[in-house]
Structure 1
Amino acid sequence: MAGQLTPQSLAAEPVLTGGNQAIIWIIVVVALAALALAGVLVREVLAADEGTDTMKKIAAAVQEGANAYLARQFRTLGIFAVAAFFLLMLLPADTISQRIGRSIFFLVGAVFSAVTGYIGMRLAVRSNVRVAAAARAATPESGEPPKDLTEVSHHAMKIAFRTGGVVGMFTVGLGLLGASCVVLIYKADAPKVLEGFGFGAALLAMFMRVGGGIFTKAADVGADLVGKVEQGIPEDDPRNAATIADNVGDNVGDCAGMAADLFESYAVTLVAALILGKVTFGNAGLVFPLIIPAIGVLTAMAGIFAVAPRRSDRSGMTAINRGFFISAIISLAGVAIAVFAYLPSSYSDLKGVGTDITGHSGDPRVLALVAVAIGIVLAALIQQLTGYFTETSRRPVRDIGKTSLTGPATVVLSGISLGLESAVYSAVLIALAVYGAFLLGGTSIFLALFAVALAGTGLLTTVGVIVAMDTFGPVSDNAQGIAEMSGDVHGEGAQVLTDLDAVGNTTKAITKGIAIATAVLAATALFGSFKEATDTAVSKAHPAASDSRWLSLDISQPNNLVGLLLGAAVVFLFSGLAINAVSRSAGAVVYEVRRQFRTRPGIMDGTELPEYGRVVDICTKDALRELATPGLLAVLAPIAVGFSLGVGSLASYLAGAIGAGTLMAVFLANSGGAWDNAKKLVEDGHHGGKGSDAHAATVIGDTVGDPFKDTAGPAINPLLKVMNLVALLIAPAVVKFSYGVDANLAVRIPVAAFALLVIIGAVYVSKRRGIAMDDQGEDGDQSHADHGSTVAA
């Protein structure tokens, strides 16, 4: 049957010849070179001036809070990691070596994801004060010579972007190093072991993304609502007790969380490409998917250094776009050379593939090159589309700014409509990319799915620059916060930081758009890996007394339609839980900041300092407490669906989640980014400027958008991949107990029931926490006293 591959249909060819091993060792060297370059960039960033003593003290407080939060978060996540390590040992595999390797590299993937996030946060909290100090040079003290404003702006931007370059190099370096080591060590068994590596990276990234997102947006929303709206003080005024927590949150959420997120996108896309590559391209399929991102590592180096602002640039975004497109163009040229140098001109010349692939007509070089090009072009189009909907100079954001003249309701409505509309265009672009890759496969579904995976690796060639763009945003935001809290940067220097922050809002929205595109391509490719795992499991099962209804992917079957609906529903539930968690924690922050203003009048006249640590503690405890429910939902929902409704319903579940998740993630990210920049637009003097009713309206829009763009939206990206990887890991067990002589309801139903009960219990406990209603608490068990105990703990 075309497109149906089994172990029996694969040719018994040696894996990783001497030439292939040499290529992978070269790729390992490239990965290590990326880490070495990261070290060079670290020294360059840390060599910059740190500014005044006041700025250094504020930066130290942010550093202390960020380090404390991540340390506690990693201790919490360590429990999940150890439990998952032993559970993976229980899942079926062909050999004990595969089981052990899968569990070990699960931990490796989790550690690499954590290291990427930690390094991103660690450098960002040291870079932000240096960016603020660089901007301060625009307004020198009395007696100092004046500085050229353009040069000052360019220097500050360079520090911020090079900081992001470090995180980008760690992302591509560790991702490529981990996947290459798996292939070198396990060779033919690499696909099974890679499942563990990808799962570890995705699971930890999801926890870091959700936890960091709850922390940062609880502090941000609470600070804005009390400080800017109620008290009428600036955003990062030191009199606001939530300001330190807000700056800490930018680092643990946007730096650590997003860095881990993009690392797992990189790792999981490679995992999917290598699994399908072995099936379709044979031995070459374990090498070629590594060559493409290795080229991307080299071009990312060029792209990072290409982001050098010029006097002719319209804004900082112009320089960033230039670096991105230079990287993309060089990547495409490099991949073209690699394709024709490494791959044969006929499928029959590929070693170690099934007969249905070797008999396929066409040129594998053309398929590979066009597929990779689709991914690179998709990244460029998503970058431009997202920029259009979120840049302050474009019409959509300016239109939202105009609606501020009629109040917060119209600001919220216009932002929601923008997000909904932009999600459609992004989904169409992603769908066209997937469909284009599908057409390349001809009659073979596995070749089509491998083409989708290659498109994902093509998108990965730009990841180094994309990560740098993402980290640039929170570093610029924090620099502005430190400048305002210290009072040492004003005038033109303050405007430099405001402009960089606006560019950073756009770059963050762009990276979220590209991240979800990567997630869809990776999830689609993993869907193919799921099919391959299912086919292999079916070929091993004895067909006697079987019921094929559990295997069919026919959407007309009611059980499969139910699976589709459940997959879409989980995305909505996951998003709702994340946003509600921010609402609860932000409520506690609001009441704590109000309490301090009320009980300590010296705060407002500057005679005493707020208790910043109490707000940091609220955000830390609430963020860690809220981690469990979304995590359990992501891991256990596929188990409940698969064991209760069958493998066909599980496949439909994944399809529903991918479809709903794509639209939801883009909607949340773009609407939030547009609201944030509309606020910046008004703060720059449009429609009445700071302190006006229009400003208050855009602040409300921004606070609504904060959990959209920085908590729920980006967390959907790892959610999709975690669920796909869980489905991939359990597929053999689902087939075994629902098909053939081993079919056993006595096993399936208890497993499904246990998973469902745990989900229901977690959601119930989460909802029982309630939302603080007033300082005393209107309801006994849902009072602010709950949050008060958290603060005092």
Structure 2
Amino acid sequence: MAGHIDPQLSEHPTSLAAAILTDDNRLIVIVVAVIALAALLVAQRLVRQVLAADEGTDSMKEIAAAVQEGANAYLARQLRTLGVFAVVVFFLLLLLPADGWSERAGRSLFFLVGALFSAATGYFGMRLAVRSNVRVAAAAREATPAEGEPEKDLTAVAHKAMKIAFRTGGVVGMFTVGLGLLGASCVVLVYAEDAPKVLEGFGLGAALIAMFMRVGGGIFTKAADVGADLVGKVEQGIPEDDPRNAATIADNVGDNVGDCAGMAADLFESYAVTLVAALILGTAAFGNFGLAFPLIVPAIGVITAMIGIFAVAPRASDRSGMTAINRGFFISAVISLVLVAVAAYTYLPSTYAELDGVSAEEITSHPGDPRTFALVAVAIGIVLAALIQQLTGYFTETNRRPVRDIGKSALTGPATVVLTGMAIGLESAVYTALLIGLGVYGAFLLGGTSIMLALFAVALAGTGLLTTVGVIVAMDTFGPVSDNAQGIAEMSGDVEGAGAQVLTDLDAVGNTTKAITKGIAIATAVLAAAALFGSYRDAIATAVSDVGAKAGEMGLSLDISQPNNLVGLILGAAVVFLFSGLAINAVSRSAGSVVYEVRRQFREHPGIMDYTEKPEYGRVVDICTKDALRELATPGLLAVLTPIAVGFSLGVGALGSFLAGAIGTGTLMAVFLANSGGAWDNAKKLVEDGHHGGKGSDAHAATVIGDTVGDPFKDTAGPAINPLLKVMNLVALLIAPAVVQFSYGGDANAGVRAVVAVLAIAVIVGAVYVSKRRSVTVDDGGEGGGDGGGSGDGTTKSPDPAVAS
């Protein structure tokens, strides 16, 4: 995207207003909306199937109820906090430039709808997960029958437990695709040709809430997990989910608010933002056809997701649970490709000349068939999802060489475990980035000499990837449900022997599925962000013509050789590092508070170890809740305000470079963090299965350290980069007209631009400063008279008030 405004931004072959919603298209969109509603009905059927399963013993029910109570309480408090933020953004969006009041109001209204749908996806996913985990544990318990009962087929028991866990994920998958498609189709039906601009608000609402839920849930879950592991496993030598550990309930709560609620909202916003990009570029590249075809593709994905979810039925011949999951995924992908081919060749015209509003120059330069163009672009996205699924599985599965290498490195201590895991994560990031890059470039080549068509091809590749999202979300939720089931089983002591091994195996598969979904989620972020560059170009071009700016103005050029643009590129890369550091540091601080609280309880209540006293689980839940909500502000402000600071201070050219730097760095960083963390986790599982000395050995202690390092990598910082990229892209898209408008028109406009830039920078600096001032106390409450316990307000007491958080 080099050059000056004239060659870059003047290519504007089709105005967004050129597309109209014809009667035929309106009928198609109505059918799409009906399919979206059908997905919600399928979700309801799956809910009934899951809840019909047995809940197990009274002890298991009691533990599950405590987890449910903690998860519901945390999410309710988080959503109240985010509700205030959403209302503020709603009014700010009304101030941004738009073609008319109706478009402004629609953009703000559907911002709230996107935020509500994103929150609902996470909430309903979490609500079912905390009810199904005990049912998975109860199903596994059947592997160890009571005295006098006949022996049961171990394979059949494992398959039953896995089916319950995956059907739970299927509910979340159906909610994700159903609500995402329903929201987009409603916007198109109501606003017709103005839908792409209104959808910017819908996508921003989904992305913002997802980012906050991902960061907040990630901080909660990993603070509890790290604290529980360090004190329980390393210091006290007790199992991971031993009921004597005060952090175990918080750990299980965290799995749900982080992995279930957070990741469901994350993948929902990926779905929404990719549709936004596809519809914006579709109307510009394909005219009327571009308003409907980007909805047809994910609608096909809804149908194939239903097939894929029900196809995950384990067989006796399967090597592991991943075999059944892979089978469902690939069945879904293949059927999607076939149905998209049918849709493309049925709906789209055979020549570019038949597309509405396409210029004569484009028709001459594209003598091919737009149906083939669309099919190949979608196929690139489907194939990309399949390749990333296999590549991530290779680096994170327990039976593959990378994880086994980490397990071997545990024989020489925790340092080599950390080094080997980081090396594997760095290497895997390169291969994943190459795959994503090849996918983007392959789609780009389909556009030939037209940048608009090339970008639309990238967006269609994103919708192709969306056809697998229903199964992908099911895979992701499967992970925390299996993890929680193992925790409930261990805490209750009612699942032993073969049943416990069934849950251990499911948990290992769940670690792999979570890593896979993170890889695919970042791929959707890159495809959506690359496609949004097209709408960003379009927004700049329109704003430039409105203010009459001259071609080649320094602030408008996208030439990367310009110093201001190069600075923007560096700043984009830097934001990813700062954001990741803040998230990991937040986990470290909160985990420190958990460690001190759990130590205090063991020290002050020695009866905990011999089961004569019960730990105070609620205190740890309270610490994690308050810390997570307190730490939300800084990463959120960073995501929203850095594009504003760069755009208003350096211009829209530097802002485009800023986005490019963030996308490139964010892709590598997110995959590195997710894969290294997943590999460390499964290396721990490998040792716990009896390799290299098994539980209680030095190798086991080393892998526990590796796992605690990887926890905030894979479940907090890594996944949060995905919504970060899309929030920044959407904010840039929304403010681009205002940046151009205030860049020209005299000293008054220049003054407004300077004030906005200074205020944004001041808020960012202040938020980071406040975050850095928080610290973990240095007293463990042993010698010196301090009680070392959590204060109940998310901090930890210290004898010196000056060092208290």
Same fold (TM over 0.5): yes
Please tell me whether residue 527 in structure 1 is matched to residue 533 in structure 2: yes
1:434 counterpart residue number: 440
Q: Equivalent residue of 2:477, what SS?
A: helix
Counterparts of 1:786 and 1:86 in 2: how far apart (Å)? 39
Matched, 1:731 2:736: yes
Distance in 1 separating the partners of 2:226 and 2:394: 26
Matched-pair identity in %: 80
SS at match of 1:467: helix
Where in structure 2 are the equivalents of 1:393-542 lying within 5 Å?
393-542=399-548
Instruction: For 2:794, give the aligned amino acid.
Output: T
- The answer to whether structure 1 residue 614 and structure 2 residue 615 are counterparts is no
Most deviating of 526-535 and 293-302: 526-535
Equivalent in the alignment of 1:378: 384
- Equivalent position of 2:181 in the other structure: 176
1:5-84 equivalence runs, <5 A: 10=15, 15-84=20-89
- Indicate the residue corresponding to 2:794 in structure 1: 790
User: Can you list the C-alpha shifts for 1:79-137, whole angstroms capped at 9, x where unaligned?
Assistant: 11000000000000001100000000000000000000001100000000000000000
Partner of 1:569: 574
CA contact (8 A) 1:671 1:709 kept: yes
1:163–1:472: 8 Å Cα contact kept in structure 2?
yes
Gaps of 5+ in 2: 1-5, 798-805
1:351 alignment partner, one of 345, 351, 356: 356
Q: SS state of the match for residue 155, structure 1?
A: helix
TM-score by length of 2: 0.96
1:690 aligns with one of 692, 695, 698:
695
Deviation at 1:433, TM superposition (A): 0.4
Q: How far apart, CA to CA, are the structure 2 residues paired with 1:358 and 1:76?
A: 52
Cα distance in 2, alignment partners of residues 49 and 791 from structure 1: 40
The RMSD of aligned alpha carbons is 1.9
Contact 1:218 1:586 in 2 (8 A): yes
Q: Does the 8 Å CA contact 2:305/2:469 hold for their aligned counterparts?
A: yes
Cα distance in 2 for residues equivalent to 1:145 and 1:726: 62
Contact conserved, 1:3 with 1:444, CA < 8 A, in 2?
A: no
Separation in structure 1 between the aligned mates of residue 316 and residue 107 of structure 2, nearest angstrom: 52
Describe the shift of the 1:11–1:712 C-alpha distance in structure 2 as closer, same or farther (beyond 3 A).
closer
Question: What does residue range 131-530 of structure 1 map to in structure 2 within 5 Å?
Answer: 131-354=136-359, 356-361=361-366, 362-530=368-536
Conserved? CA contact 2:124–2:172, under 8 Å: yes
Kindly state the Cα deviation for residue 352 of structure 1 after the two structures are TM-superposed. Answer: 3.7
Does the 8 Å CA contact 2:593/2:795 hold for their aligned counterparts?
A: no
Distance 1:673 1:22 in 2: 45
Contact 1:407 1:693 in 2 (8 A): yes
Q: Residue in 2 aligned with 1:129?
A: 134
CA distance in 1, matches of 2:15, 2:644: 30
Measured in 2, the distance between the counterparts of 1:319 and 1:75 equals 39
TM-score by length of 1: 0.97
Structure 1 unaligned spans of 5+: none
The Cα shift of 1:345 comes to 1.2
Contact 1:550 1:739 in 2 (8 A): no
Flag the 1:778–1:365 CA change in 2: closer, same or farther, 3 A: farther
For residue 8 of structure 1, report the CA deviation from its aligned partner.
8.9
**Cα deviation, residue 355, structure 1:** 5.2
2:414 corresponds to which letter in structure 1? Answer: P
Question: Residues 208 and 727 of structure 2 are in contact (CA less than 8 Å); yes or no, is this contact kept in structure 1?
Answer: yes
SS at match of 2:313: coil
Q: Give the secondary structure class of the aligned counterpart of 1:287.
A: helix
For the 8 Å contact 1:265–1:718, the answer to whether it is kept is: yes
CA deviations 1:480-504 (Å, max 9, x no partner) are 0000000000000000000000000
Deviation at 1:360, TM superposition (A): 4.0
Number of aligned residue pairs: 791
**Alpha-carbon deviations, 1:320-372, whole Å to 9, x = none?**
00000000000000000000001111111011445554554122111111100
Relative distance call for 1:458 and 1:220 in structure 2 (3 A) is same
Q: Which amino acid aligns with 1:659?
A: G
CA contact (8 A) 2:32 2:295 kept: yes
Give the distance between the partners of 2:713 and 2:22, measured in 1 at CA.
Answer: 49
Q: Residue deviations 1:14-43, cap 9 Å, x none?
A: 611111111111001100000000000000
The answer as to whether partners of 1:5 and 1:279 remain within 8 angstroms in 2 is no
Q: CA deviation at 1:201?
A: 0.1
1:623 CA displacement = 0.1
For the Cα contact (< 8 Å) 1:5–1:536, is it kept in 2? no
8 Å contact from structure 2 (residues 634, 767) kept in 1: yes
CA contact (8 A) 2:596 2:781 kept: no
Question: 1:114 corresponds to which residue?
Answer: 119
The C-alpha deviation readout for 1:510-560, integer Å capped at 9, x for no partner, is 00000000100001111111111111111111237x870000011110000
Tell me, in whole angstroms, the C-alpha distance in 2 between the residues paired with 1:742 and 1:162: 61
- One-letter code of the match for 1:762? A
Segment of structure 1 superposing worse, 224-233 or 534-543 = 534-543
In structure 2, C-alpha distance between the alignment counterparts of 1:702 and 1:634, rounded to whole Å: 28
Indicate conservation of the 8 Å contact 1:391/1:674, yes or no: yes
Deviation of the 1:772 alpha carbon: 2.1
Find the aligned partners of 1:96 and 1:11 in 2 and give their Cα distance.
Answer: 17
Q: Distance in 2 between matches of 1:786 and 1:611?
A: 11
Structure 1 position 238, deviation (Å): 0.1
Distance 1:31 1:200 in 2: 19
Look up the equivalent residue of 1:408 and give its one-letter code: P
Structure 1 residue aligned with 2:802: none
Looking at structure 2, the residues matched to 14 and 416 of structure 1 have their Cα atoms a distance apart, in angstroms, of 49
1:704 aligned to which of 709, 718, 725:
709
How far apart are the structure 2 equivalents of 1:398 and 1:230? 26
Q: Match for 1:195: what amino acid?
A: E
Q: Deviations over 1:371-418 (max 9, x none)?
A: 000000000000000000000000000000000000000000000000
1:763 corresponds, among 768, 784, 794, to 768
Give, in whole Å, the separation in 1 of the partners of 2:210 and 2:642. 18
Alpha carbons 2:693, 2:699 under 8 Å: kept? yes
Q: Is the 8 A contact 2:14 2:357 kept in 1?
A: no
Q: 1:776 to 1:53 in 2, by over 3 A?
A: closer
Query: What is the distance in 2 between the residues matched to 1:777 and 1:697?
Result: 25
Q: Which region of structure 1 is more displaced relative to structure 2, 256-265 or 6-15?
A: 6-15
The AA in structure 2 aligned to 1:71 is A
